[in-house]
Every structure is written in C-alpha cells, then in structure tokens.
Structure 1
Amino acid sequence: MKNLFALLCLTSSFLGFSQEKETTNFKRNELKGNALFLVLGAVEVTYERLINEDAGVGVSLFFVAEDEFETNFSLTPYYRAYFGKKPAAGFFVEGFAMLNSYVDHGYTTYYNDNGTTVTNFVADEVGADFALGFGLGSKWIHRKGFVFEINAGIGRNLFSDNSPEVVGRGGITLGYRF
C-alpha cells in the first residue's frame, strides 16, 4: 500500500503544472500631451507609471490662460485598470481626484431708462476646489513606443458652493512609452 501511494504521488507530480503567470518585460513610463486641448488653447501634460500589465497610476497637469475655460488650472492624479490584450493597453476604466482652480467672471446686467441692456463687469472671483470622478477610454501602443489615447471622464467638486458643480476630463492624447 505504501508503494502504491508513493507511485501515485510521483506520477501526479509529473502530471501537475504550475499556475504562475508568465510576466512579460515591457516599458513602464509614459509621457503624454493632450492634442485636443492644445488646439483649443490649453495645455495638459500627463505622466503615467505602469504598475503591471493591467494597472497604472499617473498625474495630469492642466493650465490655460484664456477665458473660454471655467477651470484655469488642475492637478489630477489617477488610477487606471486596463482590459486589453497588450500590456497596459486597450480599454480602461479610471478613478481620479482633481485639485482645480477656477475664475468666475462677475457681470451685472440691467435695463437703462431708455430700454437698452447694459452689462457691467463687476469682478473676477478666483477659487479652488477638490473633485472626485471616474473616466473611460482606450489606449493604443505602437511597437516603437508611441501612444495614442482617447478618454473622457466626469467628476464632482466637493467643497465650494461657488465652484462649478461638475468638472470634466478627457481628450485625444499623444505620447511616448519609455
């Protein structure tokens, strides 16, 4: 009986297999710029560090000097989970936090005695707030390391009553993985 048990253990060890996942070696740093915002007159630069084949963390810096945007500065750290076949590529879901500042242009409008509308500039109110949100997107990687990404996200400011209630995040991004 002992010999049969020993033979059974020996054959099962030959037939068994390991379930370790084979890891691939890939570049883990990305530097990207938002081409859509650049066309619109703003600048957004992003750095992302890939934790493994399925996840990455990063930070985006956004700033603008023009009045067309409600938000004139934001610093946005994020975490992404990737669902593609290539390492850290394909469809992704992200959660983000955003420290943002805004300028609220104050105007008053009233009607003159002769019936014309008069708009006066009162003052710019500058403020800051903190938002939490989520986003979706997709990333494509060229074999030479070039990155193309499309993403969109939405978040909510949490503290100030004067800040915009909803903040957006997104764009068409080009970059390089190194």
Structure 2
Amino acid sequence: MRKLAILLLLFSFGFSWAQEQTSPMVNKKNEFRVDVLQALAYGKISVSYERFFEGSFSVGVNGNFSNSTRIEDDYNNGFRNNIPRYEINPYVRYALSKSKARYYFAEIFASANGGDFKEIVRENSGGNGFYTIKETQYNDFALGGSLGYKMYFKDAFALEVLVGFGSNLTNKEMSPDVISRVGINLGYRF
C-alpha cells in the first residue's frame, strides 16, 4: 500500500511539473506594454518592452515622452520651473510570487531624463538692473525602485499596476527632485 501511495505521489508530482513546463507562459519571453494612466492623466506617451528569463528575473526598458498642454500651461504661467520632456528607464525585475500568471514584483530602475528649465535672472545693462526669464534645457540621471502587481488573461494579455520613485543625482538645481514610476499598463506577451 505504501509503495502504491508513493508511486501515485511521484506520478502526480511529475504530471504537475510537466504541466508547468508546457505552460504557454514559459515559451513567451517578450512583452510590449502601453501605460494608459500616464496617457489619460498627464498626456504622456509611455511604452515598455520586457524580456523574461527562465527564473524569476526579467529586464526591460520604458520610454516616456511628454506633450501635455496642462503641464505646459503651468510651466508658461510660472507655476513650475521645469517641464520634463523625456525619460528612458532601463530596469531589472524580480517576481516575488511563484505563479507565472499573477504575481507581485520588485524593480530597480535607472532613468535618463531631460526637459526644459526656466529661472528669473538679474541682468545689468549700462548701470541699470532688470530681470529676465532665462530658459535652458536640462539632462539628468536618476536611480530608484518600484513595486507592482501583474496579471495575465488568456496567457497573453497583461494588466500591470506599478508604483515607484527615484531621485535625480547630477543636475538637481534644474531637474525635478523626484522621478516617479506610477502607472497602469496594458500589454501583450509573445
């Protein structure tokens, strides 16, 4: 009787392992995503590509390009002194859950970002002082971390929720202090 129970246990373990290995998610290594939250709330175009490895790790890159009239109006009316135009974010992720279809993840990212900066400066001309607005462009580099949750539908369509923050490191007097990675992404895994 024990031999039969052990044989059935080994057979069921082997069967479940074979099903896990033949899952369609294991063969799909690439994913493309679009951030709908950034598009609707901020007028940003945000797209991502992710490559999955055999274990729990994946790598990817995200690109953001801003064309928001609301942020542009705030910048032009003096409510903000910088306006981010682009971000390129390479990242490394680690899945915190065992499931391939629904899991939490942690992410470390870097960010190359840039945009426009303006400041009021005092200038002198012929003994008279006056103030002007000086506009320049900035470029900066940031490091940060994120947490998120991802789920798949029909082994191909992804829904991802992501929250993370980083800090600019090199040009702090012109660039934003904090880089945020907040989004709701829709994607396709292939």
- Give your verdict on TM over 0.5: yes
Residues 144 and 88 from structure 1, CA distance in 2 versus in 1: closer, same or farther, beyond 3 angstroms? Answer: closer
Q: Partner of 2:164 in structure 1?
A: 153
1:50 equivalent to 2:52? Answer yes
* Preserved contact between residue 101 and residue 155 of structure 2 (Cα < 8 Å): no
Q: Distance in 2 between matches of 1:75 and 1:152?
A: 17
Gaps of 5+ in 2: 1-9, 11-16, 72-81, 122-130
Structure 2 counterpart of 1:79, from 92, 95, 107: 92
Structure 1 counterpart of 2:143, from 132, 151, 154: 132
User: Aligned runs of 1:5-84 on 2, under 5 Å?
Assistant: 24=21, 25=23, 26=25, 27-39=28-40, 40-66=42-68, 68=71, 70-84=83-97
Q: Distance in 1 between matches of 2:55 and 2:101?
A: 5
1:154 partner SS: strand
Q: Partner of 2:188 in structure 1?
A: 176
Q: Distance in 1 between matches of 2:96 and 2:102?
A: 7
TM-score by length of 2: 0.70
CA drift at 1:29: 0.6
Taking only the aligned residue pairs, the percentage that are identical comes to 33
CA drift at 1:144: 4.0
Q: Deviations over 1:8-29 (max 9, x none)?
A: xxxxxxxxx9xxxx56253111
Q: Deviations over 1:144-166 (max 9, x none)?
A: 41000000111011111322222
Q: Distance in 2 between matches of 1:31 and 1:72?
A: 22
* Preserved contact between residue 54 and residue 88 of structure 1 (Cα < 8 Å): no
* Preserved contact between residue 50 and residue 88 of structure 1 (Cα < 8 Å): no
Pair member with larger Rg: 1
1:86 partner SS: coil
Paired positions, count: 152
Q: Distance in 2 between matches of 1:121 and 1:50?
A: 51
Residues 88 and 60 from structure 1, CA distance in 2 versus in 1: closer, same or farther, beyond 3 angstroms? Answer: farther
Gaps of 5+ in 1: 1-16, 109-119
Q: Distance in 1 between matches of 2:185 and 2:62?
A: 11
Q: Partner of 1:5 in structure 2?
A: none
Q: Partner of 1:105 in structure 2?
A: 118
AA of the residue aligned to 1:165: D
Q: Distance in 1 between matches of 2:101 and 2:139?
A: 33
TM-score by length of 1: 0.75
